[in-house]
Structure 1
Amino acid sequence: MRHRSLTLAQILKYMNIYSNNEMAEMLATSLGGSQVVRSLAAEASEVPVSEIHLINGSGLGVDNRISPRAACAMLQAIQHKLQPLGLTIGDIFPVSGRDRLGTLVRRHIPAAAVVKTGTLRNVSALAGVLPTRDRGLVWFAIINRGNDVSSLRVGQDRFLQMLLQQWGAASIPPKVVLPSPASYGDASRLGAPVRNQILFGG
């Protein structure tokens, strides 16, 4: 039997939905390590490399630091590089209201926002893009420090809800952030048997 893998974009989607550190570390290693990732990210996002400090590929550890400006620029660069491939940022990051698993469980982030969470023992971060009626796509990065991470997350969600109240929700979420239809369905699941191919009968 042969099992066909998910595409790299689909693997990245699962990695980001669950914030899987082992997968992130393996991908960074395959690219040459954290310093290569740092250089590539700075070049693609056109921010000073001094705003991106990485000691590993997972982001675990207080020595991993990315400025809010760099976080937003990196997300915008990802979106720009995905477009020629027929993909959107929603194809590789969780979309609120659609991906109700992993890091978005018990979150109240506005629907259609594409986000990436980051959590340490006393740090909570949230970055992404919020579709609005009046301001279009609003790219954001929120970094909070404190011992009550749950309360920090509640505050982040409320802040985004306040922004949406002020600027209005987009009547139709723009296609540039919505995931493609192929991102969902049985074939897109990890280990889905529909991707098995029997080579030799028993």
Structure 2
Amino acid sequence: MTRQLTDALGDEALGKRVGAVVLDAATGERIFAANADTPITPASTTKIVTCTAALASLGPDAHLSTRVVQGGKPGSVVLVGGGDPLLAGPSARPRYPKQASLATLAARTAATLKAQKVTKVTLTYDTSLFTGPTTAAGWKPGYIVPEGNVAPVHALAIDEGRQNPRSNTPRVADPPAYAAAAFARLLGKQGISVAKSIRPGRAPAGAAELGRVDSAPIYALVEHTLTHSDNDMAEALARHVAIKEGQPASFEGGAAAVLGVLKRLNAAQGVALSDGSGLSPRNRISAAALAKLVAMAGSPASPGLHAVASGMPIAGFSGTLGNGRRFTASDSRGQVGLVRAKTGTLNNVNTLAGLATTKDGRLVTFAFMADQVPINAEPVLDRLAAIVARS
């Protein structure tokens, strides 16, 4: 394995800065290492870090709740964003994991209001759960428009800020206002008339709850985030970790909170963050840190972290490894189905971190990272992972 990996790492497609490590998942022994401790731009393999922290801090069975509460005046209601970007809008189709539904929230709220003999309301919406800038330092302006890689980060959104739930583009400029307007229309269909003026506001402290919907459990959200490289969900998870850890629910607070959780896990070395999704080119993570986290996720000693392992795409089959472009070359297609790994891609950055079982039955984890890539190093990363899987 060592000679094959060394030869593959010399491929010019990887560029001049490459970090690589292969670990025995059970013992932590380094089977192979090359610049393993060098901090490298991780791109979306950052999500391994964010998701590990979310499971460790929030717990795999926690939920994200979107609520409607009584406003401060008679006949007023407040839609309270719970930081669930997967909240399904009126035109969303059923998917896995099952999403909380804005239509269900409207139906429950309407039923409560009718029981109180209220059929006319004013509506405000509360997005105060998250704070700070809605885009991270280093994000390209094109991430939101026209590329649609992510929406501005708010505590209230439907369909991750998409106008069409089945398409990344276009993203709406003001996700909270868009969600509140959709909620008002849904209330109308339930026989509750909503005043035309819908404005942002704050829910009164201790306000009575009129309706609530809960997301899928965190473990399912983590699996979704990793399989589909969901930037919106990753940023939301980072902020929920911040809230749980007593930090501001912002990019800065999320980064600090995630690192704090990793320190408790003795896994913070080699990790520096600016966001939770990996869209920021300012993130730095070493190959050793990523491989260690994957090993923890697959360990019987860490059952609460297993969703990190189960959420990783399967080579040639699912998520970002099942798009018809990965593990298709002659030097990697023989290992289709035998590698689970998280991909990472930015301009001049390609990374891959995951796990495989060797021919002798040993579970190993790996991370291969390059951030001075001339054009595209994905086929080389696939070859490296394939070498590990067939060794």
- Provide TM-score, normalisation by structure 1: 0.69
Structure 1 residue 90: Cα displacement: 3.8
Structure 1 residue 83: Cα displacement: 5.2
In the TM superposition, what whole-angstrom CA distance separates every residue of 1:106-129 from its partner, at most 9, and x where no partner exists? 211632322111111111000011
Match of 2:63 in 1: none
CA separation in 1, counterparts of 2:349 and 2:375?
9
Shift of the 134–122 alpha-carbon distance from structure 1 to 2, 3 Å rule, reads same
In structure 1, which of residues 157, 164, 170 is the aligned counterpart of residue 389 of structure 2?
A: 164
Structure 1 residue 132: Cα displacement: 1.2
Query: Structure 1: where are the runs of 5+ without partners?
Result: 168-202
Match of 1:125 in 2: 351
Residues 12 and 93 in structure 1, CA contact (< 8 A), matched pair in contact too? no
CA separation in 1, counterparts of 2:273 and 2:347?
18
Match of 1:200 in 2: none
1:41 aligns with 2:266: no
| Equivalent residues in 2 for 1:111-122, closer than 5 Å | 111-122=337-348
Residues 112 and 131 in structure 1, CA contact (< 8 A), matched pair in contact too? yes
CA separation in 2, counterparts of 1:86 and 1:119?
24
Query: Structure 2: where are the runs of 5+ without partners?
Result: 1-102, 105-212, 243-253
- Larger CA Rg, structure 1 vs 2: 2
**Percent of matched pairs sharing the same residue:** 27
User: RMSD of the TM alignment (CA)?
Assistant: 2.6
Residues 129 and 137 in structure 1, CA contact (< 8 A), matched pair in contact too? yes
- Provide TM-score, normalisation by structure 2: 0.37
Match of 2:156 in 1: none
Match of 1:30 in 2: 240
Deviates more, 1:106-115 or 1:70-79: 106-115
In structure 1, which of residues 70, 91, 98 is the aligned counterpart of residue 310 of structure 2?
A: 91
**1:156 is aligned with what amino acid?**
L
Match of 2:83 in 1: none
SS at match of 1:24: helix
**2:280 is aligned with what amino acid?**
G
**2:345 is aligned with what amino acid?**
T
Normalized per residue, which structure has more helix?
Answer: 1
CA separation in 2, counterparts of 1:74 and 1:86?
9
Deviates more, 1:118-127 or 1:83-92: 83-92
Residues 41 and 74 in structure 1, CA contact (< 8 A), matched pair in contact too? no
**1:37 is aligned with what amino acid?**
V
SS at match of 1:63: coil
1:60 aligns with 2:287: no
SS at match of 2:344: strand
Structure 1 residue 14: Cα displacement: 1.6
Match of 2:373 in 1: 146
Shift of the 158–6 alpha-carbon distance from structure 1 to 2, 3 Å rule, reads same
Equivalent pairs, count: 161
Residues 357 and 364 in structure 2, CA contact (< 8 A), matched pair in contact too? yes
Structure 1 residue 26: Cα displacement: 0.7
